[in-house]
Each structure stands twice: as C-alpha cells, then as structure tokens.
Amino acid sequence: MEEKKWSELWLKYTEKEKRGNDKLIQGVYLKGFDASDAVVKSALEEWTAGLKGMYGMEPAMEENPNAGVLSLIRKADGRIRKEGYELLEQDGCLQLLAGDEKGLLYGVFHLLRLISMEKDLRGISLLCNPDNPLRMLNHWDNMDGSIERGYSGNSFFFEQDRVIVDGRTRDYARLAASVGINGVVINNVNVKQAATYLITDRYFAEMKAMAEIFAEYGIKLYLSLNYAATMELGGLDSADPLDPGVIAWWEKKMKEVFERIPNLGGFLVKADSEGRPGPFTYGRTQADGANMLADIVKPYGGIIIWRCFVYNCTQDWRDYKTDRARAGYDNFIKMDGDYHDNVILQIKNGPMDFQIREPISPLLGGLKKTNQMLEVQVAQEYTGHQIDVCYLIPMFKEILDFKTYCGGDLDTVADVISGRTMGNANAGIAAVCNTGNDFCWTGSELAAANFYGFGRLAFRTSLSAEEILEEWIRMSVSNEAEVVETIEKIMLPSRETYEKYTSPLGIGWMVTPHVHYGCSVDGYEYSRWGTYHRADHLGIGVDRSDKGTGYALQYYEPNASMYNKMESCPEELLLFFHHVPYTYVLKSNKTLIQHIYDSHFEGVEEVEEMIRLWESLQGKVDTGVYENVRRRFGMQLSNAKEWRDQVNSYFYRKSGIADERGRVIY
Amino acid sequence: MEEKKWSELWLKYTEKEKRGNDKLIQGVYLKGFDASDAVVKSALEEWTAGLKGMYGMEPAMEENPNAGVLSLIRKADGRIRKEGYELLEQDGCLQLLAGDEKGLLYGVFHLLRLISMEKDLRGISLLCNPDNPLRMLNHWDNMDGSIERGYSGNSFFFEQDRVIVDGRTRDYARLAASVGINGVVINNVNVKQAATYLITDRYFAEMKAMAEIFAEYGIKLYLSLNYAATMELGGLDSADPLDPGVIAWWEKKMKEVFERIPNLGGFLVKADSEGRPGPFTYGRTQADGANMLADIVKPYGGIIIWRCFVYNCTQDWRDYKTDRARAGYDNFIKMDGDYHDNVILQIKNGPMDFQIREPISPLLGGLKKTNQMLEVQVAQEYTGHQIDVCYLIPMFKEILDFKTYCGGDLDTVADVISGRTMGNANAGIAAVCNTGNDFCWTGSELAAANFYGFGRLAFRTSLSAEEILEEWIRMSVSNEAEVVETIEKIMLPSRETYEKYTSPLGIGWMVTPHVHYGCSVDGYEYSRWGTYHRADHLGIGVDRSDKGTGYALQYYEPNASMYNKMESCPEELLLFFHHVPYTYVLKSNKTLIQHIYDSHFEGVEEVEEMIRLWESLQGKVDTGVYENVRRRFGMQLSNAKEWRDQVNSYFYRKSGIADERGRVIY
C-alpha cells in the first residue's frame, strides 16, 4: 500500500460512536436534484465515504422518502437562499433541504461534521444560509513551487513552472468545500515570470483540468493577474487602461481565457503596490484600471477583485508626516461610487499589514458605494510562522464585529462585507491561505484550525471562536472531553499570548526584516517601509491623532474621537495611535514601561503553561500530531524568550527605568 | 577588433614623456640568466611590451653590456637577497642586478613603474629586498562563480563549477607579480561542494594549467582545503588528525596532488570556525590538525597556513562575560611553540573582523615561537563595499608599525611577520583580495589602489601610504600634478572619513546584518555573533578592561595598562575597551555624545568635499574612470547621510541629550 503523502485533516472519517444516528440514514433519497450533476455526485460520494469510515455503513439509494432514510430535497424559497440549506429531523425522517447543488453539498458536509463530532441528529432543525456571498482563499503560490509567506512546505499547485493536478487537488477542494469556500485564487498576487502565462495557451489544459475538479466541489477558480500583461504578453508598449489598444488586447485575451478555462470566476489584481505595475503609471485612477478589466470580463460573468494595498513603500524614516496607515483610505476613498458593479475592492483588515494587533481599516465601511471584500491572513506571516501557536479566529471575530458607524443598524464590518449594509451581491471575505505540501498541510497540525475556522466563519459569521475550535478539535484530533478542553485551553488565548511576548499595545512590527519571524526591535525603524515605533528615551508610539498624522480622523464618529484621545483610545491600540511616555499610567495602574516588562514575562510563562498542557496529552492524541506540535513548542519557547529579553532589554536600555519586580533584564 | 573585457590597470602602458630615459635602454643585455626560463621570459616580454607602449621602442637583445643598454645581471650576495634586486645607473649604464629570476622580474616591473611615472632613471641607485617572505592574496571565490564578500562582479577563476584559465588569468598574474605578490589562494576559505574536489582528478588538468601561468610570474598556487575531505572525498568516518586512517588518506592524497599540480605552494585551512569542521570535533588541538597536514606536505616543500579565526559564533547576547575579542588569543596562545616549521598561523589584523578601526590582535607577537602571517582585508567588506572610497594603506601601515613589546628591538608587527623578530623564514602577509570580473577588476576604479598598495607594502613595509598612492595614481590615472594632488586629497583621508560617518571610536559593527553595508545600529546587538556595543541610556562601549572581560590584559605591557585604563586608552579605540558615559569629556573637550554627533556631520561634509574634488577632474581623467567613480560617489553620499542620521537619531533617542549646535536629528 502506498504511503499517504498528505493527511485528510478533519475529513479523515475514522470510526465514531453512532448514538442511534445510524437508524436515520440507512438509505439516501434524492428529489429535485440530478444525481449525475458533478456537485451532487461529490455530495453523494462524500456522504458514502464518510459513513463508510465513521459508521462502517454503505447506504443505498432509495426510491421513496421513508423514515430511516436521508432525504435530499431541492427546495428554493425565501428562507433557503443561494448556497443555503436546512436540516430537519422529525419522527425518524431526516431531511436536507437545499436551494441549489452547492447548498446540498454544504448540507452533507454539515451532517458529516455532526456525525464526526458524535452529535445526536434526532430533532435537528437548522437553517443555514451563508453570510458572505464570496468566501475565498488566496494562495500566494509561485510557479517555481515556492510560496510567498508559506510555512508548510512548497506549493501543491505548482512545481518548476508546471501546474500540478493530482489527487491532492481533489482533497484540497474537498477540504475547502467542507468549510464552505466557494472561490480560490491559486497564484500569488505578485504575478511574475511564468505566472503571467497562466492566461495563455501554455497552461490552458492544466487550468481547465484544475477548474473542473474545483467545479465538482462548487468552487470557482480565480487567477491573480499581471496588470502589465499587455506589455509582457501582448508586446504593446502600454498598460494604460484608457488606451484603445490595451482595451482591445484585453478583450481578445479575456474571450480566449473564458472560453478555454471553464468555471473561471474572475481575477485578483495587485496593482501599483510594492513595485507592481498599475494605472498610476499612466496618470489614471485605480477605478480606471479596475473598471476597464471589469467591463471586459462582465459578459462572461467574471468579476475583478482589486486589492487596496497601495502605499508608498519607499518612505523616508525621517519623515514624520507621511503615514502608511493613511494610504489605503487616501488612495481609494475619493473614488467611492466610481467602481463598476463587478469590481470588488479587497481590503486588508488593518491599515498596515496583518500585525498581531491593528485597528480596523477605516476603508471598510468608509466606502459607502463600493463593493468590498475583507482580506485576512490565515498564513501566519507576522503571527508565528505556524511554529508559534496562534489561533486567529478570535481576531477575525473582533474584525467582523467592529462597528464602523457607516450609518444605519447594519454597520459592522460583517454587515458591510456580507452585502447587508448596501444590499450588494458582490462582496465577501478572503483569506491568504496557510497551506503547503507538508503532510499535515499547514506546517503545524494546530494551524489547520485557522484554515478550518476561516471557512466556517466566512460562511456563518455568527459562530463563536469557541464553537469553531471545538468543531475542529473534535473532527481533527479527538472527541474525548479532556483532549478537547486541553486544546481549547492552549489555543483560545494563544493570540493574546503571542501578542504579550511580541510587540506591545498595537505598535506592531519589531520583527526581523524580510523574514518576519523573531524579534528585531529596530529592524524596521530606520527603513523605507513606513513601519516605525518612534521609541526614544522618554516614550514610544506613533502620534496618529489630529496633532500627528491625522489617521484617527479617517474613522466615523464616535470612533474618530475615541481613537484621537489618549484617554479614550482602547489600550490594546494605544501605541498605534499615540506617542506615550513610559511613565504613563494605564488602566491597570501600571506604567507603560512596567506593562511592557510584565506582559513579556507573562507571555513566556504562558507558553511554558501551554507546553505543560500539551505534554499532558501524550498518548491521548495521535503520535504524529503530538510530536509535530511538541517540536514546534520547543521553537516557540525559545522564540518567546528571545522576544521577551530583546524587547525588555531594549526598553530598559533606552528608558533607564528598572523593572519594579527586579527580574533579569540584560 | 574585439573589445577588451578587462582593463590593465596600472600596466596599461600608454605613451609617456621620455625625459631622456630612452637613451639608456636602446637594447637589453642578459647575463647569468637563461632567456628561455619562464620567469625570465615573462620579464623580457613585459619589458618589451612596456617600452613599446610607453616609448614606442622595440629594444633588441645585445651581446655586450654597452652604455645605452639595460644590463640584466645575476648577482647573489649578502646584499641582494632572495627575490631582491638592485637598480644602478652610472655613466649611461643602467644595471638591474638580481639574485634570482623573481628578483629580475620585480626589478623589471620597478623600472617600468619609474618609466610610467615619468621619473628620471639617470643616477638611480636602489637596493630592494622584499621585507616579507610570503606576500599573498587570498581570494574568497566560490566555484559557482560567486565571491564571498566580492563587490566587483563574479569570479574570474571559477564559473558554474568550472575552472577558467584564459587571457585574464595571465593579466591577473602580471598585475599581482608587478606589485611583488608571490602566492595566491584562488578559492574561498569556506571550502564546500565542488571546491572540495579541487584536489581530485576532476580539476587537476585546469589546476596545472593555472599553476603554470602563475609560475611564469613567480607566483605559487595555493588552495584552501576542506579539513573534512577525508570524510567528504575519502569516505572515511573521521577527520581526527591522530587517526592513522586519516593520516594515511592524506599521505596518499597529497602525493597525488603535488605530483599532478606543479608549482603548488601548499594550503590554507579554515578549521573549527563559523561552522567549518576541524580538530576540535575530535578533542584535538589546532596544532594537532595543522601539524598532521604539515608533516605530510613537507616532503613536497609545501606549507600549511592555518587561520586563527576561531571563536564561538553562537554566543548569547545576554552573556556579558564571553568576549569574542579574546577568542583568537585564548584558542592559540597555549600551544605557542607546538607548531611545526612549515605551519604558519594566519592572524587577522584585529581581534574581531576587519572593522574600520580595531586594536591590533594580541596574538601578533603574543606568539613568540610560532610562524605568523598577518591577514588584512583589501576587499571592502566592512569598509564600504568598493562603493565608498576607503584607501586602506594608512590602516595597514598603522597595523605594521604597532609596537607589540614582545621583546627586543624588533617587536613591531612588521618585524614579527617578516621573520625579523624570530629569524624564521615561513612568515609574511596575506590580503583578502578585492577583485572580480568587472572591467576595472575592483568595482570602483579607486579601489584598485588598495590591491596595488597592498602588494607594494607587503614587499616594502617602509614605503609610506603617500608614496604608494602617488605611484598608483601616476601609473593608473595620470601624471598631471593637479590630478595627482586632487586624488590624494580625496583618498588619503578617506579611511578617517568613512570612520567618521560610521561606527564611532572603535566600537565597530552597527552594519546591516549579513550584507555588512549600510547602517543598522542594533543590527548585531541581539544576535549570536559576539559583536555588541552595549549602548544604554547612559553610555556605550564594551568593558574589556580587567573589570570587564579582561581582553586588555592579553597585551604585553605597557600596552595592557594603556588599554586597561579609560584615561590612557587611545581615544580612537575608547569604546572598544570601555563602557563610557555619553557625558564623558574627551581630549577634544567634547563630550562623547557631542563627538558622535559632530563626527557624523563632519563625515558627510567630507564626502561632499570629496565629490567636489572629483568633479573638478572631469575632462582631466579618462571618461570611463570618471563616470565609474562619480556614480559611486552618489551612492556613497546617500550611504553616509543614512549612517549619519541613523546613528545620530539612535543616540539622541537613547540618551535624550540634544546636539549642542542644534542641527537636525530625527
């Protein structure tokens, strides 16, 4: 038997307690769906595989909706919406009602999840409509097989400029669909070299093959686009979005691409950002660029997702006025309303770049007449490289729950990006994905919870971080109460723990340049990246109030005033918004400097406690999983100590203020 | 006509003023030398080429030593020693007397130098014996063509694991021989991958071809050796120097190598250093390792040059006791006298690593019964990457002139490494070379002065930095007085200028990690490399006195006491030896912090002045040379400003002490 090269994570379908569920699902009855439809087929196959693995059952197709038989029924009404489904059990009759094939697939995965978690299906009554129209994964995979900000091996999409379509492609699609993902961008937003050619004959055959597998799981394929393709592929001397030659080239190209690649959803574009070409080069607006492409892909049902990560990345550190945090808003707010219907602006959750703590981007909801997608990062670029444990779902919840005050009752980020606020259909959420060709997909076995959790949260933003974590643990690791509780104790506070031993109170960065793992307090302080902490012998922080860069005023009231004043600014973001003396007294009654010392000592202690907790699970979880995580904990502990000692020493040396508790600082 | 791919630097032989010299050299008369000897042939060819280029003359061989004929005469006596020569002119008879072929070659290059400088040969009477037996260049070229710490393009010795032997090999040998170099190590001291195989059949043919070209110019070929070759090539499981199997393998290997590669001088070994294998792995001493190899190469006249760059490169920055500066002395002093006759210890000039200012290594002269070679770095790793102008000969002069007090009158570093102190023959000086396959060999046209100057100084340590610079300018750029003076004004103080805008008062480092160009004050402060400045809000510097790491006491008296006390420590090394408050008053009556501010502002002003001076030469020097240097000056100025602003801001932010003169600090 060939050894498996990758695990199936939460879809591994090992034997489970039946709790009488087996009596409800002796057969399958299908009504209103075509059993030969690709998505329906996937749903039925998954159901069969799941029941075989978990219950040792092989339910047959039935002709009638009898009791003891799972009924899969098409039902589209106002309640069950696109991609939604309802689960109902009454008197031994279990029904899955869905409005479309994708709803059916998601419903089947829901039932399998409940079975995997050893839940009782009797009496179930659940209506599940997806909250976000678009629920996407963005892979930053390069065609040479490397992954930008990848910490889980190499790409399983690309290798040496070739596209890989194999058994893993299907398992990836299963995993993604099982948590409700309906769109995937397979290539890095920085589109260079071979990746530019993904929209040419060189790769159409493989793209088609991959897109068809994705289609079987209700996932649209998207590609990152090289904005300068007119020049690099087309031999034109311009990429000016208003140039008729440029437009004509794209028209021809898009016709070809949509004809050759079925199930193509559209394109993600990083333009005018970190050295990428874009419309600014030609004196055009971002809207000019996005609309030009959007109009051309519209006949094919395509959409253009346009990233808002546009800022000056050659800033002078001596310049205290320019503020990278302002850039997204400043660059995009003016053209609110100018973007066509099938353009979506994709906005990172914070104004900087996926730090462990940032305020919410003021563009989210700041834009009132523009389709918006939230971009979060499941890949742990700044949050521990999938070495350090950092369960990100609580952070994503905070982001979604943030009240923007953009007007009306439906004004949270979740409202804005779901389309509820503006009633728009092209909206949603995307995550930079953390997968690679490692056996366990995500480097650390525990990091898979972020992949899982992102999908679940994207589908139902009302789920709590605790619920999602419990689901993941029970499906992936064990249903044993002790195991579930112990892993929860490790993971639920892990984001705060990581924050404690790294950069304090929202200031961010302080990381090793380029690598973004490990401490270097001044690593970005005298650089061109606009990411400064401005620490001197008296204090630290960036004044982004009206007396500083004015960034705080990009928010609606009352947020603007709250952030603008040191006293009302949430303390976890204090140093993001204000330059604060080390002697400033926090609500905890500690001085700022003492808070820095204390939190850094605490962070390391918490890692030590995490390790003790994990070690208590030896023998209770799979050995491979245990060792994978144990090894990483060793690395996390030394990373945490290094951060603690560097940060504390740095601020002690700079401030000259001793730790009240006399602990060792170097 | 094919375009030249490299310049001939100071051997380019353009037309010169004759000043009557032509009347002395109408022919050549040879006595006591064999005209078919390879070195003699090279000398005659060079003479012919030189005269043709500079005077348009083609002197014939003469049968008699008439007036108006250059007489090349073998004469070995007590005055003219090995590789030495004498130049004499009387009554129209110009004589070059030499004890051996190499002396002849060096004498011819001397005459050509005088002609190139438009000097008058009449009445000349010069005796030139080399001060150092070994005058070597160390190339850190890798076999893939890259050069470790190379700033002048790729290797001209290696490309894609192949050895290159072509016209440039010969021109390189001519350049090296023209300044008296008699040994060259062609491959990087970090011997890995293909380079390990240089001592195998895979490369013998090319090694032989290269060695033969070198031999024609009196240069011995040396190779860097992989200490672990017994394992990597031999398939043994050990590299223990006392293991009979290891010894037997090397005996066989060395027999083969010396048979197959003629003109091989021996080997350079970096063992137990920065991850390289060595005898410490087997509980043996460095002497065990070096002697084992030395005994084996002795029958072939080979020598083993053993580097003393051994230190703990995984230090903990929290550890204030371990001191990298101590390591060389601590590791090597105990075995003084244990090394066999054909072992030479190669010692870097300072105890750290080629910083812009370091004290002299206490091993130099500290060792009293061991062959020693001084290692300096002409490659500008920490001194401006051949972008910033940094004429290094004044620094090398300081090093050579340093009085070690090792006993007797002959106790300077120059005495020790020349063999004068101990009367030993295996001694000398080596430089890490700054060449590459750039057109001008050294990245910056001006950096060639360091290559030139090193060779000249190695041959005659009594030459002044000014004399050497004048020679180089007149031969390479122009004999015009204004050009000579202007370039002297730029280059003579350039080391002090570089020092002013970079790290202050001997503390060193503060560079971008790995790259070693550009400022990062804390770049190595929290790292494993043992290179700390220990700055806090009150002061900066490393206490290496008897109250600190005790490094100062590794020197003989009175040096030890001088360095040990803050008051007597030379101020340019103050922060190397002491942790000093910012408010400490220097002899200039400035506080330390004010000195830091002032020197950094001055450094930039001096670069601006250099640029003004250089620009005054437009049209007076070769356009290619002018543009090459002008371009680099643009980069140097922004580098200098960046250093100034980062260093000043760092210390202002840390100390809180304002610049007395109120200049802009960020």
- Residue B602: the pLDDT is 98
Strand partners, B70: B28, B94
Can you tell me the distance from the alpha carbon of A587 to that of A591, in angstroms, rounded to the nearest whole number?
9
What are the chain A neighbours of B537 within 8 Å (beta carbons)? 537, 653-656
- What number of other Cβ atoms are within 10 A of residue A378's Cβ? 29
Mean pLDDT for B605-615 is 98
Q: Which chain B residue lies closest to A533 (C-alpha atoms)?
A: B653
Minimum CA–CA partner of A656 in chain B: B537
Assign A2 a pLDDT band (cuts: 50, 70, 90): low
Give B-chain residues touching A666 at CB under 8 angstroms.
317-318, 320
Q: Which residues of A touch B536 (CB under 8 A)?
A: 652-654, 656
For residue B63, what are the contacts with CB-CB under 8 A and spacing of at least 6? B29
Tokens standing for residue B366? 């500290």
- Among B522, B653, B666, whose Cβ lies nearest the Cβ of A537? B653
CATH number of this structure's domain B134-476: 3.20.20.80
B520 HSE (CA, 13 A, CB side):
24
Q: Do the Cβ atoms of A522 and B521 come within 8 Å? A: yes
Of A520, A521, A656, the CB nearest to B538: A656
- Active-site residue (options: A17, A166, A237, A274): A274
Q: Which residues contact A184 (CB under 8 A, 6 or more apart)?
A: A136, A137, A139, A176, A214, A219, A220, A221, A222
User: In the predicted model, is pLDDT for residue A3 greater than 90?
Assistant: no
The tokens describing A415, both together, are 């409202």
CB contact under 8 A, A666 and B317: yes
Q: Which residues from chain B sit within 8 angstroms of residue A658, using beta carbons?
A: none
Percent with pLDDT over 70 in chain A: 100
Position of tokens 């003084």? B336
Distance CA B304, CA B270 (A): 11
Chain B: nearest CA to A183, how far in angstroms?
A: 41
Peptide bond into B558 cis (omega under 30): yes
What's the CATH number for A134-464+471-476?
Answer: 3.20.20.80
Taking only the tens place, the pLDDT of each residue in B223-272 is 999 999 999 999 999 999 999 999 999 999 999 999 999 999 999 999 98
DSSP of A51-96: HHHHH---PEEESS--TTEEEEEE--SSSS-TT-EEEEEETTEEEE
Listing DSSP states for A283-309 in one string gives T--HHHHHHHHHHHHGGGT-EEEEE--
**Would you tell me which CATH number, out of the four given (3.40.190.10, 3.30.379.10, 3.40.50.10800, 2.40.50.100), belongs to the domain B11-128?**
3.30.379.10
Q: How far apart are CA A239 and CA A250, in angstroms?
A: 10
Burial class (CB in 10 A: 0-12, 13-18, 19+), A340: middle
Residue of B320, B322, B522, B600 for testing the chain A interface, max A β-carbons within 10 Å: B522
pLDDT band at B41 (very low <50, low <70, confident <90, very high): very high
A493: its two tokens: 């506070």
**Residue-wise pLDDT tens digits, A589-617:** 999 999 999 999 999 999 999 999 999 99
State whether residue A354 is helix, strand or coil. Answer: coil
Closest residue, chain A, to B664 (C-alpha): A318
Q: Given a cut of 90, is residue B76 above it in pLDDT? A: no
ipTM here = 0.87
d(CA A567, CA A90): 56
CATH (residue range B498-542+579-655): 3.90.1330.10
The reply to whether residue A318 touches residue B520, judged by beta carbons under 8 angstroms, is no
DSSP state of A377: E
How many helices (H) does chain A have, and how many strands (E)? 18, 18
What is the sign, positive or negative, of the torsion defined by CA atoms of A536, A538, A542, A548? negative
List, by residue range, all CATH 3.20.20.80 domains of chain A: 134-464+471-476
Read off the pLDDT of residues B148-205 as tens digits, 9 standing for 90 and up: 999 999 999 999 999 999 999 999 999 999 999 999 999 999 999 999 999 999 999 9
- Dihedral sign from CA coordinates of B241, B243, B244, B246: negative
Mean pLDDT of chain B: 97
DSSP assigned state of B314? S
Q: Are residues B185 and B222 in contact, defined by beta-carbon separation less than 8 angstroms?
A: yes
Domain with CATH 3.90.1330.10 in chain B: 498-542+579-655
* Residues of B involved in catalysis: 274, 353, 381
DSSP class of A654: H
In single-letter form, the type of residue at position B433 comes to: C
**Mean pLDDT, residues B457-486:** 98
Does A659 participate in catalysis according to the annotation? no
pLDDT by residue (tens digit) across A611-647? Answer: 999 999 999 999 999 999 999 999 999 999 999 999 9
Tell me if B537 and A645 make a contact (CB, 8 A cut-off): no
Let me know: does A571 contact A586? Beta carbons within 8 Å: yes
Instruction: Provide the 8-state DSSP code for B418.
Output: H
- Residues of A at the B interface, defined by Cβ within 8 angstroms: 317-318, 320, 519-522, 526, 535-538, 642, 645-646, 649-650, 652-656, 666
Location of each CATH 3.30.379.10 domain in chain A: 11-128
Q: Residue B528: closest CA among chain A residues belongs to which residue? A: A642
**Three-state SS for A343?**
strand
> Number of residue pairs across A and B with CB atoms under 8 Å?
57
Provide CATH 3.20.20.80 ranges for chain B.
134-476
Q: What is the pLDDT of residues A476-524, one digit of tens each?
A: 999 999 999 999 999 999 999 999 999 999 999 999 999 999 999 999 9
DSSP letter at B60 equals E
Comparing alpha-carbon positions, the chain A residue that sits nearest to B666 is A318
* Residue spans of alpha helices (H) in A137-285: 167-178, 204-216, 229-232, 244-260
Is B656 in contact with A536 (Cβ distance < 8 A)? yes
Chain A contacts of B522, Cβ < 8 Å?
520-522, 650
Per the structure block, which two tokens stand in for B335? 């075995």
Residues of chain A neighbouring B666 (CB-CB closer than 8 A) = 317-318, 320
**Residue A555 near residue A333, CB atoms below 8 Å:** no
DSSP secondary structure code for residue B18 in this structure:
-
CA distances from B418 to A653, B131, B365, B425 (A): 46, 6, 11, 8
Which residues, including other chains, have CB under 8 Å from residue A261's CB and lie 6 or more apart?
Answer: A204, A207, A208, A211, A221
- Residue A572 burial (CB count, 10 A): 15
